[in-house]
Amino acid sequence: EVQLVESGGGLIQPGGSLRVSCAASGFTVSRNYMSWVRQAPGKGLEWVSVIYSDGSGGSTYYADSVKGRFTISRDSSKNTLYLQMNSLRADDTAVYYCARRRVNSYGPLDFDFWGQGTLVTVSS
């Protein structure tokens, strides 16, 4: 059974750093395209970042709003996806979801499974 469990959210001051995690079970993270999506309180979904599978070169891409501040990565030994967030701002406050691309799908963002999300609050 595929499961994604995010953790690491919390309250952080503006300008600070935080790393959120997404522990996967039922499949191998490194063999799949994985993304982070966020949702500010009361707002819509925003795609944040994607990391391609090892077989596709492991490339990473970022939304303009986070480029240069956020880094997506994975640890194969822990089967876990990460999002390192630096220089955090108030408008980064959101629930952060990880999502898996459907196996053997053509679209890089053809998500099937999502985690339940972890809340990051940036405030002084």
Nearest approach, Cβ of residue 13 and other proteins (Å) = 27
Window of 10-18, 23-31, 40-48, 81-89 that interacts with other proteins by CB under 8 A: 40-48
Closest by CA to 43, choosing from 87, 6, 85, 92, is 92
List Cβ neighbours of 17 (8 Å cut-off, separation of 6 or more): 84, 85, 86, 87, 88
Token pair 């990051």 in the structure block, residue: 120
Window of 8-16, 17-25, 82-90, 102-110 that interacts with other proteins by CB under 8 A: 102-110
3-state secondary structure of 30: helix
Q: Which is nearer to other proteins, 29 or 98 (CB)?
A: 98
Beta bridge partner(s), residue 83: 20, 72
- The yes or no reply on residue 44 touching other proteins (CB under 8 A) is yes
Nearest approach, Cβ of residue 94 and other proteins (Å) = 13
44 close to 32: Cβ distance less than 8 angstroms: no
Q: Would you tell me which residues interact with other proteins (CB under 8 A)?
A: 35, 37, 44-47, 50, 59, 61-64, 97, 102, 105-117
